[in-house]
Amino acid sequence: MTIRALIVDDEPLGRERIRTLLGAHGDVEIVGECPNGKSAVTAVTRLKPDLMFLDVQMPEMDGFAVVEAIADKHLPAIIFVTAYDRYALKAFEVHALDYLLKSFDPDRFHHAVERARGEIARAREGALSERLAGLVEDLESRKRCLTRVVIKSAGRIFFLSVDEIDWIEAADNYARIHSGRDTHLVRETLQALEARLNPEQFLRIHRSTIVNVSRIRELQPLFHGDYSVRLKDGTELTLSRNYREKLTEPLGQFL
């Protein structure tokens, strides 16, 4: 069985690396190479490859946008090529065929190709299509996450990017947002905000507290399974034992 492969990477050296390593696989035919996401969408539609090596981080149109664009046209087996660490890969690791972390070694590369060979053979049974459909669903869900919060203060309205939020606390039927030295009261419950925020970025650590995971500097054990959470600006919060497991994977450690 010949595997028709498409290489998508905005870096010439990256494409060359994949091309060179594929030389050891005689049953893989490179049908095209693309330097950006837009040309990749065109190539997939025209060439209908069995396998695509897809760089995640590309300017203008990244790898995720490529997958969304071709979802209703032709979805080949996908091996993501990325510089992300394994925790950032969690969102699509379940659905993607495989992934290669730059700079990948020959053994890891050949293992990914072997997996591709088996998956492509099973694709005729529909298993691969179901997996990629799951990936598209995840991407659509991520797009629906809140990206900014509307703040009304002193007669004016402005928008606060969620990336600027350090932590959020409950205030009866309101939520108090902490961003640097500023605090903002919004007419929304903590539970409602939690449902709209990206769960990979914001986690509930207490019944009255949500924290931006990237702001956490250290954890210190307290009593009865609770932890003190110290943020980068020195703020100290409490991680309740009832929410402790939520921080296990994002922090890459067991509490």
Residue 14 has pLDDT above 80, yes or no: yes
What HEC string does 45-112 produce?
HHHCCCEEEEECCCCCCCHHHHHHHHCCCCCCEEEEEECCCCCCCHHHHCCCCEEEECCCCHHHHHHH
- Kindly indicate the confidence band of residue 192, based on its pLDDT and cuts at 50, 70 and 90: confident
Q: Which CATH number fits domain 148-251: 2.40.50.1020, 3.10.450.50, 1.10.150.20, 3.90.180.10?
A: 2.40.50.1020
Among 215, 207, 212, smallest CA distance to 170 is for 207
Superfamily of domain 3-143: Response regulator (3.40.50.2300)
Convert the pLDDT of each residue in 197-254 to its tens digit.
888 889 999 999 999 999 999 888 888 778 899 999 999 999 988 887 766 655 555 4
- 71 vs 179, residue with greater confidence: 179
CB crowding 73-87: b at 16 or more within 10 Å, else e: eebbbbbbbbebeee
- Kindly indicate the confidence band of residue 63, based on its pLDDT and cuts at 50, 70 and 90: confident
- Kindly indicate the confidence band of residue 150, based on its pLDDT and cuts at 50, 70 and 90: confident
**Domain chopping of the chain, boundaries:** 3-143, 148-251
Residue 124 has pLDDT above 60, yes or no: no
Q: Is the pTM of this model over 0.85?
A: no
Structure token digits, residue 144:
């629906």
- 74 vs 6, residue with greater confidence: 6
Kindly state the percentage of the chain with pLDDT values over 70: 82
Beta-carbon count within 10 A of 4 CB? 17
- 170 vs 90, residue with greater confidence: 170
- The CA dihedral of 7, 11, 13, 18, to the nearest 10 degrees, is -20
Q: How far is CA 139 from CA 12, 145, 171, 253, in A?
A: 27, 10, 32, 26
Residue 22, classified by CB atoms within 10 Å of its CB into exposed (0-12), middle (13-18) or buried (19+), is buried
pLDDT computed for residue 147 by the predictor:
82
- The overall average pLDDT reported for the chain is 82
